Amino acid sequence: MPMTPQEASKRAREICALAPIVPVLVVQDKAHARPLAEALVAGGLPALEVTLRTPAALEVIAEMAQVPGGVVGAGTLVTPQDVRDAKAAGATFGVSPGATDVLLEACEAEDLPLLAGAATASEAMRLFERGYDMLKFFPAEASGGAPALKAIGAPLPQIGFCPTGGVSPSNAQSYLSLPNVVCAGGSWVAPGDLVVKGDWAGIEALARDASKLAA
């Protein structure tokens, strides 16, 4: 039986509650997958979003899915084929920049919890009406940042958010201090130059700092 939106949202909220920051990862080389995931998990960030923006993304998900303690998801889900590919690779949750009925149906059919994107009150209300109460606020900074998300949260306190897009060490706490924010998505914990150099200790240190942010 397909996963209901309510079940999907409950699971998505549980994953978001694992740590204050969900690393948003753009990984070019499958060889980096396992040590990168190990460093992030060791640093206290177990929920990992691997974006489907590189040719290696599905192989990276498959590698990371084998790392003990990690909860690996696929980001940038746009089509039903993306959903099927991500699930087959080992993703245990999905993240999308927005939401369409076709994409939601595909995730429900594949039993893949989805963190669907919303940037306005109407988008959030439409997803809530369907049964989704844990959403991604995207693009966070371009959509008005923490003040906008605070304003959306006032009339919609039932909905939890993971703001992503422009979140950084300098503004993360302003999001995490909001009552409707469960976690935030950030790419700064795995900068491309450190990944290429294989500086896993450096990445673990960034993850450890991020894990201490208060949600």
Known catalytic residue at 212: no
- Could you tell me which residues come within 8 angstroms of residue 14 by beta carbon, excluding any fewer than 6 positions away? none
| pLDDT tops 90 at residue 2 | no
**pLDDT tens per residue, range 64-114:** 999 999 999 999 999 999 999 999 999 999 999 999 999 999 999 999 999
Instruction: Determine which one of 30, 87, 108, 136 is catalytic.
Output: 136
CA distance linking residue 3 with residue 10, whole number of Å: 11
- 154-159: which pairs have CB atoms within 8 A and are 24 or more residues apart? 155/121, 156/121, 156/124, 156/125, 156/128, 156/180, 158/128, 158/133, 159/124, 159/128, 159/133, 159/134, 159/135
In the CATH hierarchy, which fold is given to the domain comprising 5-119+183-211?
TIM Barrel (3.20.20)
- Burial class for 10, CB neighbours closer than 10 Å (0-12, 13-18, 19+): middle
Instruction: Determine which one of 38, 49, 63, 204 is catalytic.
Output: 49
CA distance linking residue 11 with residue 27, whole number of Å: 25
CA distance linking residue 43 with residue 14, whole number of Å: 19
pLDDT in the model for residue 59: 98
Output the pTM of the full model.
0.97
Tokens of 80: 């039903």
In SS3 terms, 80-128 reads as HHHHHHHHHHCCCEEECCCCCHHHHHHHHHCCCCEECEECCHHHHHHHH
| pLDDT tops 60 at residue 215 | no
**pLDDT tens per residue, range 156-202:** 999 999 999 999 999 999 999 999 999 999 999 999 999 999 999 99
Residue (of 76, 69, 28, 67) closest to 190 by Cα position: 28
Known catalytic residue at 49: yes
Q: What would you measure as the largest C-alpha separation in the chain, in angstroms?
A: 46
